[in-house]
Each structure stands twice: as C-alpha cells, then as structure tokens.
Copies of this chain bind each other. A is one copy, B any other.
C-alpha cells in the first residue's frame, strides 16, 4: 500500500460543490488502496476576506493575531472536506497545523517549518483515516503560538509532510494542467512538460513560474520526494518534478537544450548613480537594503567609461519592497555619497531554463540573437549554470518570451507562434 500526500489549493475548494468534488477525487485515491494525507488551503477568497476584516478593525494588525485569524480559513476547509469524505463512506479526520505537528519559527506571517512531529498524523493513518491537514500554518517552537508560513506554504507543507511520512510521492492539485514550456497566456503554442528536474523547476519558480513556490521545490529536492503537479479539474497526466536521475530519459528530452521560458513582472529596478568608486561602498548599499529585510535579485555595477571616481549600481528587487528600499537608501544618502537614485517598476525579467545548456554551447548567443531580431533591448543580464535571465522593458516581456520559445524549438509542432500583437 502506497502512502501519498495530496495538496488542493483554494481554487479547488471554492464552495460546497467543489469540496464534494475534491472529496470524490480523494475517495478514488483511497479506494485505490493508498494511505492518503491531504493538505488543504482555505476556500476561494476566504483568506483575502479575513484580511479585509482585519484591516477594518486595525490599520496594522498585530502579526500574532493576524495569524490566529487567517489560520481559521484552512481549518474550515479541512473540516468541511472531512465531512464530505465521511459522507462518501471514507473515514476522514481533519487536523490543524499545530495538531499535525508542524513546528515552525516564531516569525508571524512568514514562519518557516523547523520540524514536523507526525505522531498524530501517523496514528490517524493507522486507524484507516484519510488524514486532512490545514495548510499554510504551524505552531511556533518557542512560544507555542499559531503561525502562518507565507506564500506558497501549503505546497511546502505537503512536500515536507511527504518527506517526514516517507510518502511515495506528493500530488499538488491546482487550477492548471501542470508546468508549461512558457505561460500559455503569452505563448499559445506552449507545451506541457511531462517531467522536469528539481533544479530546473527551482529556476523556473524563482524566475516567475507561479505553479510551484521555490521553497516547495527546494524542500522536495532535499527530501527527494517526487512532486506531481496536476489539475484538480481533470485527469490529465500533469507534470512530474523529479531528481535528474529518476527522470525517464526520452529522446526528444535529451535533445532539448532549454526546458522552459519563465517571465516575471513582479520586480522593480533601483539605480544609484554617482556612487564614489571606493572599496566597500557597494557592500554598504546592500547592507542597508538587507537591513530592511529585502531580498535583492540581480545586481549590475557599471564600469565607468572614463575615470570619474564614481560608478553606478543597479539592482532588481520585489516590486512590493520598492518603497521600503528607496526610503532606506535615501535616508543613508549622506553616508553613501551617491548623486541620484532612480526607481523603475516598468521592467520585466525573462529567463530561459534548462539543464541542457550545461552541455550545449551557444545558448546565450542564440537567446540574445532572438531578442535582437525581435528588437527587444536587454537592460540587465544574469546567469546560473542552467539559466539565463535578462531584464527588459515591461512592454517587451511577451515578445521576448515568444521569441525565446520559438528560437529554442519549444513551440508545439504544426503551430506557429505569432510574434507581434499578442501582448496581454
């Protein structure tokens, strides 16, 4: 008998009807002879609605109390799903994150899982129950207060549980069919990827693919848990995220240099110009940004064409942190001695990802050529062993994605991608 963990997102449990539909799906897995653990998100817009209520009561809700409030959403969907399963004759029990032994750091609103003590879950499984765990939540190791885990955290909970329980695999049910070679809204000829390595998926997630959060893929790789991303609305085969060794070698896959193209419109760029060209100045810039708890993504330091004794530093960061970073840097203007600070949120990042580029030279040239032919100007560049990212004007993102997708032969056969005029 296989042990599997399934995770259903909020769009899969929007109302009573969809909860019953999910219950039937789980019942099939259970009746197929599996031990099933389910991690569930809050129904539809519940979390947003609770957040609105909190903001009606308090302009800046206390993080501890906000976590107490928001975690009720997943508890409700977990209980309702257990009821629906019991009605189908499938024994089921729901557990809060705390009851399920999800131990976290104490950072409310963005806690990290430290450990999972799965005693109650294992006990519930051994009693023959489908065991439902409220996602997105845990309990602080130090204070025993209820915590929430931040973005994409229900997926991470599911994979972490799969690891601790020694599950065979983890199924992530969502509202799309799987991972695609590009966002099908941008590239209509994008293909679904049958299998992708952890490393590639991490790069895709970090570069704007919304299907799985990067933390979840990191966790899957660490625990070596195969993750099956699939639609809760169909029986389509979905995408397997696996270790490179576990991937079924296919001829066409071996030939593919690039696995997918990702894009991200959620970043902004800050340029600090006229920074004194002294050792340690750049480090101070990023010290100040880091002190505001902001993660910087790409960094470029321009080389002064003529020796002016000053330089320009540009970096990208999440758009939502833009104001905080600008304020912090302006406050330190005297110390840093820069001349000007520019903030630009009209940018987008386009990345090509693929383990194939390790062994295929010329990928960068091919990518940049495709952009040039399509008159897409490159603003910043960053690379990893299996990824090349460029920052372009936000209005050029779609065209850049389409150009790369075609250039690397990812379009569905027999369908031509229309390059121009298909922006969203």
A68-B79 in contact (CB<8A):
yes
Query: Is A94 a contact partner of B65 (Cβ separation < 8 A)?
Result: yes
A84 beta carbon closer than 8 Å to chain B:
yes
Is A53 interfacial (CB 8 A cutoff)?
yes
Q: Are A57 and B84 in contact (CB under 8 A)?
A: yes
Given contacts A50-B76, A82-B62, A83-B61, contact A16 B68 (CB under 8 A): no
A76 to B67, CA, bound (A): 10
> Copy number of this protein in the oligomer?
2
A53: which B residues are within 8 A, CB to CB? Answer: 16, 76, 80
A50: chain B residues at CB < 8 Å are 76
Does A144 interact with chain B (Cβ within 8 Å)? yes
B87 x A65 contact (CB < 8 A): no
Asked if residues A69 and B80 are in contact (CB atoms below 8 Å), the reply is yes
Question: A52-68 vs B: 1/0 string, CB under 8 Å?
Answer: 01101111111011101
Residue in B60, B68, B87 whose CB lies within 8 Å of A59: B87
Asked if A66 contacts B54 (CB within 8 A), the reply is no
Q: Residues of B contacting A62 with CB < 8 Å?
A: 82-83, 86
Convert A152-173 into 0s and 1s, putting 1 for each residue whose CB lies closer than 8 angstroms to a CB of B.
0000000000000000000000
The answer to whether the Cβ of A34 comes within 8 Å of any Cβ in the partner chain is no
Which residues A262-289 have CB closer than 8 A to chain B? Answer: none
> Once bound together, how far apart are the Cα atoms of A411 and B267, in whole Å?
73
With contacts A53-B16, A57-B16 known, is A75 near B83, CB below 8 A? no
- Say yes or no for A192: interface residue by CB 8 A criterion: no
Chain B residues near A61: list those with CB within 8 A: 83
Judge whether A78 is part of the interface by a CB distance below 8 angstroms.
Answer: yes
What are the residues of chain B within 8 A of A82 when measuring CB–CB?
62, 64-65, 68
Q: How distant is the Cα of A59 from the Cα of B16 in the complex, in angstroms?
A: 12
